[in-house]
Structure 1
Amino acid sequence: MPIRKDDTGSENLSRSEFAYTRLMAMIRSGELRGGQRLREVELAEQLGVSRTPVREALRRIGSEGLAQNSPGRGLVVTEYDKQQVRELYALRAALEGAAAGLATRHASPAEIALMHEILERSVAALEAPAEMMRMNARFHSAIHEAAHNRYLAQALAQMSDALALLPGTTFAAPNRAREAHDEHLAILRALERRAPDEAEALARRHIELAGATRLRMMFGIES
């Protein structure tokens, strides 16, 4: 009797990877938001796979802290409380600071030129929060790549996934887009001067200010 692909397990593995990739894309895009229920049957139907690969994908997402069991509701996309938001931004400040410090040592002229280009283009997005959020992500990604540290890049990618669960964008807060743009410029100037301590301090402060804005927007409190 010929062996079917499903009998070998390899097909199921690829389907699990597919389900995980699609669910992560839905989290990153905001299609799945914090507190939203994750029903195996519905997700399997939506993705066009059986429940088993969806179950395995959800288990993996849960192990990464992006889904959790909620009493009376079952599995939901993780919804952060005030302390978790504080902790996220504290870790992000450390990681972004480290990336900026390393980038002062390793960024090539082409990588610095790309950062300038991104900031020039972001001027036109100062009144458009969604576009500013996209340009902000590009600027930080450029710094991460210029740090040339694969392990830091992995940690920052995981942090990005966690931050994707936060609602909205801090750039919707009054004056935050312009303030962030000025902070980005200051970081970039420190990179150009090859001043690692200054760049790290500026990057940390930039994230701390973003975190304070986030806490005000979500909970109406100061950090």
Structure 2
Amino acid sequence: MPDSPARNTGAHYVYAELKRRILSLELKPGERIFEPAMAAALQVSRTPLREAIRRLISESLLEQQPTGGVLVPALDEKAVSELYDVRAAIESLMAREACAKATTADIESLAGIVERNAAMVQFADEAMKQGMALHAAIAGLAGNSWAQRFHDQISSQMERYRHFTNNAQERRDVALAEHRILLDAIAGGNPEKAAKVAFDHVIGARDEALRAISGSSLVIP
């Protein structure tokens, strides 16, 4: 069918844009998606919009209500805690496995990311990008495809919460110090230390996220 690629491209665009708005909190937690208004705003037909909505519902980034309405999920403290707990276990596993595989060149690459993190630690968005780059690089070194798959899924969900965890300069400084210790553990080939540092680092981010959002009207306690 000659128009199939166009439909696919349209659905992908709508999916990517809706996902961006959800994760950036541009679409507020609890906000309802009205199809006619959203289709008009995105300048697309209802068909690619509905395809994108179905996909986002399957990823738990939108919620289908019993009445048929579609909402952006509220920020849920229980879900926050569970996501970070699972990520802590996965990050710990990948840090342990990276120790056994990291070459001198790999260590130099990780060190470069940490130094860029240090240079940008005063800037919330840039510091977050470098932190994410470090964790992604360690995941790549670990080479565990299942851990990587679950890590990517969880990371996508957690995008909505990073806004709350990275705003405080104190937390960014602590995260940088933990990144340095993690790098030293991997460079020194110490899998037990690397695993513990990675686990504790994510749990620290969890606790900060819960503190930051606990008083928000957008959160389900």
The bucket for the TM-score relative to the shorter chain is 0.7 to 0.9
What secondary structure sits across from 1:168 in the alignment?
Answer: helix
Residue matched to 2:157: 162
Alignment correspondent of 1:36:
31
Q: CA deviation at 1:199?
A: 0.9
How far the C-alpha of 1:60 sits from its partner, in A, is 1.0
- Worse-superposed segment, 20-29 or 182-191: 20-29
How many angstroms does 1:52 deviate by?
1.2
> TM-score, structure 2 length as denominator?
0.86
| Counterpart in the other structure of 1:152 | 147
Amino acid at match of 1:196: P
Tell me, yes or no, if structure 1 residue 132 matches structure 2 residue 116.
Answer: no
* Residue 187 (structure 1) aligned with residue 182 (structure 2): yes
Matches within 5 A, 1:4-23: 5-6=2-3, 9=4, 11-23=6-18
Gaps of 5+ in 1: none
Q: Residue deviations 1:184-214, cap 9 Å, x none?
A: 1111111111222221111000000110111
Which residue in 1 is equivalent to 2:218?
A: none
The alignment status of 1:214 with 2:209, answered yes or no, reads: yes
In the alignment, structure 2 segments of 5+ residues that lack a partner are 216-221
Matching residue's letter, 1:41: P
* Equivalences, count: 215
When structure 1 is superposed on structure 2, of 18-27 and 92-101 the one drifting more is 18-27
CA distance in 1 between counterparts of 2:133 and 2:162 reads: 19
Q: Which residue of 1 aligns with 2:167?
A: 172
Residue identity matched to 1:116: A
* Cα distance in 1 for residues equivalent to 2:182 and 2:193: 8
- 1:84 corresponds to 2:92: no
Instruction: Give the superposition deviation at 1:37.
Output: 2.7
- Secondary structure of the residue aligned to 2:84 is helix
- The structure-2 alpha-carbon separation of the partners of 1:117 and 1:24, relative to structure 1 and needing over 3 Å to count, comes to same
Structure-2 change in CA distance of 1:147 and 1:135 (3 Å)? same
Per-residue Cα deviation, 1:156-183 (whole angstroms, up to 9, x for no partner)? 1111110112262323235111111111
**SS in structure 1 at match of 2:160:** coil
State the 1:86 CA deviation.
0.9
Q: Would the alpha carbon gap of residues 73 and 210 (structure 1) be closer, same or farther in structure 2, given more than 3 Å must change?
A: farther
Give the RMSD, CA atoms, in angstroms: 2.3
SS in 1 for 2:163: coil
- 2:20 is the alignment partner of 1:25: yes
How far the C-alpha of 1:38 sits from its partner, in A, is 2.2
Q: CA deviation at 1:43?
A: 2.7
